[in-house]
Amino acid sequence: MNKKWWKEGVVYQIYPRSYKDSTGNGVGDLRGIIEKLDYIQSLGVTIIWLNPIYTSPNDDNGYDISDYQNIMSEFGTMRDFDELLSGLHRRGIKLIMDLVVNHSSDEHNWFIHSKESKNNRYRDYYIWKDPAYDKTGTIMPPNNWGSVFGGPAWEYDDTTNQYFLHIFSKKQPDLNWDNQVLRNEIFSMMNWWFDKGIDGFRMDVINMISKYPDFPDYNNNIAWLDNKTFMNGPNLHKYLKEMYEKSLKKYDVMTVGECFGLPLEEGKKMAGEDANELSMVFQMEHVDLGSGTYGKWDIVPWKLTSLKDIFNKWYVAMEECNGWNSIFLMNHDQPRSVSKFGNDKKYRVESAKMLATMKLTLKGTPYIYQGEEIGMTNIAIDTISDYKDLEILNHYKEAIERGEKHEKLLSAYNYKGRDNARTPMQWDAEENAGFTTGTPWLKVNPNHKEINVINAENDANSVLHYYRKMIALRNANEALIYGTFEIVDYSNEKIFAYFRKLGNTVFFIMLNFSENKVRFTLPDSIAHSKVTVIISNYPKPETMQPDSEYELQPYEAIVFKGALKM
């Protein structure tokens, strides 16, 4: 397996709207990020992923782009961007941008022209279809696909009497990747950013760019699960290879493709070492744990063994193709990791550190989402108008019409809603958490009085200091990057324990995912050996000679390294 900077790096994801507002208009911006560059560097991270900062009417917070080569005015100017990029590079930090090319905004010039007539040169940049008709002759969308954000995935346009496809909101029409001219426009736009000096792209819903050509109806109404419609279509790999040839190959860059509903085999074809497609993918199976048969808002308990299964099968798959994984527990679309996978009440600090230990010791590039490094939690919202996410707002409207109960819906949103991740970054205990001097665009979590960067800096036992140590540990140990991964006591529902091995170096990691004390039988190679305790979230001696059994404290994480009898 080849060594690469992006395998050895640690990524910090910044959601600019919620990071730091430098103007007082309540919206985070590029100059706000520039103010925080020293803080970012102090974490030890080496790569930043910025959520979309391009010109956008913000129907979906920048995931609806109207100009791919300009900066959203709320966020600043291209000069601010250039300053941010050079400020990062000066500090030895790379920058990857969000590439949102499954769809554009309906306010993009391409779409404005595309709508005008059936035979203009932009018509075929988007997916237009004739209406279908039911038995009574009533006009119907071309098929039964629903939009991820509610309602049908087709919008009728009476200028030309056709429907256009929008898998997301109707202000996010899907681009037609079957059109070579459109593809070339996208590749040259990518090259323009690479020539400016950026270091890669995170690619939004990239496995949706190739649709099944006959646009078949779903077999069921759970879109993500149906693989023969708009995901993983027949030309996916052809288009990604073309992107590689016409753009990626010319630069030393990193790419990560966001892929819902991605079969392992497809993932291998994308991220394998010789695939000539992407550096890695975000498979989403583990963040989907806790969703029932009816989808995201159907909340069911999740099991530790399922989490192990997912990490393990993607580990094995990537070993088979010499590929590389991404390791993340949340992003801007997911609830806070400590609220979902840890315990944000009694054991917030312990469990946030335990999750940090896992993220930085699994095999793959780790991603930290802003605020995760101080153990930020979900927010409790009890008024629907305090939510700003269109996914929640659209779902609420439809669900209430169907007769679902307000309380049940709010509790689902409080647990899983995307706004949990998007509340402003908590810098201090002051009003608005030091995020803005104005009115924040989304509520600040009231727990910022306790959970904030200043408090964390001043507390030697904080999640923040622990993150710094974990990042430094991973950066300094090749075995934690390139070493093999081997789970011990697989069926244990409370403890996730595993080896990382490279050459003579062995790490043994034990993570307690429960609020109980748990006795764990150590593998023979560890029991009765003299081992170094590299790090733990509880006070521990520097070396130990553990018995055959080790008792873990609630949410304990402990990493042994040592002269082990292998």
Closest Cα partner for 283 from 246, 336, 243, 323? 323
**Cβ 354 to ligand ISL, closest distance in Å?**
25
Q: Are 298 and 396 in contact (CB under 8 A)?
A: no
**Cβ 270 to ligand ISL, closest distance in Å?**
17
Residues 372-411 that bind ligand ISL (CB under 6 A): 391
Distances (CA, A) of 141 to 93, 131, 161, 195, 217: 47, 5, 11, 42, 11
Q: Does 99 help bind ligand ISL (rule: CB under 6 A)?
A: no
Using CB under 6 A, which of 53, 96, 100, 317 touches ligand ISL?
100
Q: Is the dihedral of CA 276, 281, 285, 291 positive or negative?
A: negative
CA distance 566 to 563: 9
In the set 155, 204, 266, 373, the catalytic residue is 204
Using CB under 6 A, which of 21, 29, 59, 60 touches ligand ISL?
60
Distance of CA 184 to the CA centre of its chain: 27
Tokens describing residue 29: 């911006």
Residues 414-433 that bind ligand ISL (CB under 6 A): 418
DSSP string, 300-332: ----HHHHHHHHHHHHHHHHHTT--BEE-S--T
Using CB under 6 A, which of 174, 204, 344, 419 touches ligand ISL?
204
Q: Does 296 help bind ligand ISL (rule: CB under 6 A)?
A: yes
**Cβ 551 to ligand ISL, closest distance in Å?**
38
In the set 21, 98, 258, 373, the catalytic residue is 258
Q: Is 116 a catalytic residue?
A: no
Using CB under 6 A, which of 168, 341, 435, 485 touches ligand ISL?
168
CA atoms within 13 A on the CB side of 29: 22
Number of residues that bind ligand ISL (CB under 6 A): 13
**281 beta partners:** 257, 325
Per-residue mark of binding to ligand ISL, 303-342 (x: CB under 6 A): -----------------------------xx---------
Distances (CA, A) of 552 to 157, 238, 262, 558: 62, 49, 36, 9
447: left (phi over 0), alpha (psi -120 to 50) or beta: alpha
Single-letter amino acid, residue 565:
K
**Cβ 505 to ligand ISL, closest distance in Å?**
36
**Cβ 333 to ligand ISL, closest distance in Å?**
3
Closest Cα partner for 325 from 220, 479, 447, 481? 481
Nearer CB in complex with ligand ISL: 167/182: 167
**Cβ 291 to ligand ISL, closest distance in Å?**
9
**Cβ 168 to ligand ISL, closest distance in Å?**
4
Distance of CA 9 to the CA centre of its chain: 16
Nearer CB in complex with ligand ISL: 63/467: 63
Nearer CB in complex with ligand ISL: 286/332: 332
Nearer CB in complex with ligand ISL: 87/295: 295
Q: Does 259 help bind ligand ISL (rule: CB under 6 A)?
A: no
**Cβ 64 to ligand ISL, closest distance in Å?**
7
Q: Does 63 help bind ligand ISL (rule: CB under 6 A)?
A: yes
Q: Is 204 a catalytic residue?
A: yes
Q: Does 363 help bind ligand ISL (rule: CB under 6 A)?
A: no
Place of tokens 């029932």: 292
Nearer CB in complex with ligand ISL: 59/80: 59
Which residues have a Cβ under 8 Å from the Cβ of 130 and sit 6 or more positions away? 142, 161, 162, 163
Burial 369-398 (b: 16+ CB within 10 A, else e): bbbbbbbbbbbebeeeeebbbbbbebbbee
Nearer CB in complex with ligand ISL: 149/560: 149
| Catalytic center residues | 204, 258
Contact residues for ligand ISL, defined by CB under 6 A? 60, 63, 100, 148, 168, 204-205, 258, 296, 332-333, 391, 418
